[in-house]
Amino acid sequence: MKENKNILLAEDDENLGKLLVSYLQAKGFRVELARNGKIAYELFNNTKHHFDLLILDVMMPEMDGFTLGSEVRLLDRQVPLLFLSAKSMKEDKLKGFDVGADDYITKPFSMEELLARIKAILKRAEPHQKNVQEKIHVGKIEYEPELSVLHLEDGVKKLTTKENMLLRLLVQNQNELLDRQAALRAVWGDDNYFNGRSMDVYIAKLRKLLKEDSNIEIMNVHGIGFKLLVKQ
């Protein structure tokens, strides 16, 4: 495993943050440090960045680690999550794994233990990361999220940035509820009323594009969100 991987570290303790960055950089990793959960989410949601692993402190201002992990999982179900916490209670660990954590480490910890856990997580994640560029089938329709392209009966349809981001979220949460506010924050950056109306317009556009397959439905769950339903 090559160690020139990109890590997003969300840690509000300035001294620990600097220490972790220095140590991981010395081990060959590229590290982006965020001082709170909100900044970390904005960095992760920025299409200019690609991260192979997220290391999230649980107790942070603006947005705690568990909330951040939940928001990240709406955008990406594969990226590995490692939680750091001063709490060793069973309930907290279970909450982390419920969010979708790959591992959970309790402070204080040794740098060697952290490095060993990071290496193990990245090794397990390699098969998923190799498949990022693959085409996805949504019913009978072929979708290439990295190229923002749908292959329809009448040809290739290039999606706009927001159409692609919204469809990607729906596909990643296929047959499950996509929370309306979370989708707004992910695609528009803010869940205000006007952005909500804009999203409804984009949902209508996606319905029109996907209508050639009668087994696909984007269902509106009133006031809560949407479900992309694909009948087998």
Domain ranges of the chain: 6-130, 136-230
Segment 195-221 shows an average pLDDT of 95
Write out pLDDT tens, residues 99-143.
888 999 998 899 999 999 999 999 887 765 555 556 889 999 999
Q: What percent of the chain has pLDDT over 90?
A: 66
Quickly count: other Cβ atoms within 10 Å of residue 31's Cβ. 20
What does CATH list as the number for 6-130? Answer: 3.40.50.2300
Segment 13-26 shows an average pLDDT of 96
Peptide bond into 108 cis (omega under 30): yes
| pTM > 0.75 | no
User: Is the per-residue pLDDT at 199 higher than 70?
Assistant: yes
| Residue 194 vs residues 4, 94, 98, 166, 223: alpha-carbon distances, Å | 41, 37, 33, 16, 15
Task: Say what the pLDDT of residue 54 is.
Answer: 97
What does CATH list as the number for 136-230? Answer: 1.10.10.10
